[in-house]
Structure 1
Amino acid sequence: MNDLPEALTGLHDATLASVEFDWRERRCTFLFQGGPGEGLQHEFSIVFNDVTKLTIPSERPWGPSLSLLEVDSVDTGRYVLVMQSGDEIWISARQEPIRVLGNE
């Protein structure tokens, strides 16, 4: 695995509320209700721009959960968000993701 961008660090146990994909802009926004990480106790988003691929299963092989288990950078611009439900959300983007805090 490659190094994670700063925006994707410290997300273990963050609660995923929704995923929005803007087709025209090729922008994907993951909205989190908060998490235990420093500075993440309130709503925040992770935004991916110039998205080329997005896969979002919701099969829940380990049972229902809204929490994030881990995030990995598989290759440059290719990431996997592993949910505590066992689902793996895959995203490929040509730009590094950014984190936006709820009050920004």
Structure 2
Amino acid sequence: MKGIPAALQGLHDASLVSVEFNWNSRHCVLRFSGAPNPALQRPFSIDFEGVTMVTAPAEHPWGTSGSVLEVKSDIPGKYAFVMQSGDEIVVATDREPVRKALD
């Protein structure tokens, strides 16, 4: 995997609802209520399989916000969701994430 996968593009201002990690299956799901991006205005999730690490601090150093500022990947397979609160949610996996529309 190189760069930011398509499933993680266009997430600026996406509103994060929850982070779920199933320890046994190594499956992580980030659920969003939508984003200004025309393709993402309805609820969606980002699903990760084969997860080796999840960190989800909620310290809010820049103030309270549940929106994504950007997604970074300095190391292949390690994705940092930089939140507008200043927190960074990090997911590491050896598989491509998948974006899914939610009902």
Same fold (TM over 0.5): yes
The C-alpha deviation readout for 1:21-43, integer Å capped at 9, x for no partner, is 11111010000000011211010
Aligned residue number for residue 27 of structure 1: 27
5 Å matches for 1:33-72?
A: 33-72=33-72
Distance 1:48 1:38 in 2: 23
SS of residue paired to 1:34: coil
Distance 1:31 1:46 in 2: 7
**Percent identity, aligned pairs only?**
51
Pairwise CA RMSD of aligned residues? 0.9
Q: Could you list the runs of 5+ residues in structure 1 that have no partner in the other structure?
A: none
The residue type equivalent to 1:27 in the other structure is H
Aligned residue number for residue 9 of structure 1: 9
The C-alpha deviation readout for 1:41-89, integer Å capped at 9, x for no partner, is 0100001110001111000000000100000112110110000000011
Tell me the TM-score normalised to structure 2 length: 0.95
Distance 1:71 1:64 in 2: 18
Distance 1:47 1:38 in 2: 20
Distance 1:6 1:80 in 2: 15
Distance 1:91 1:41 in 2: 23
Distance 1:96 1:80 in 2: 14
Aligned residue number for residue 76 of structure 1: 76
Tell me the TM-score normalised to structure 1 length: 0.94
Deviating runs (4+, > 4 A) in structure 1? Answer: none
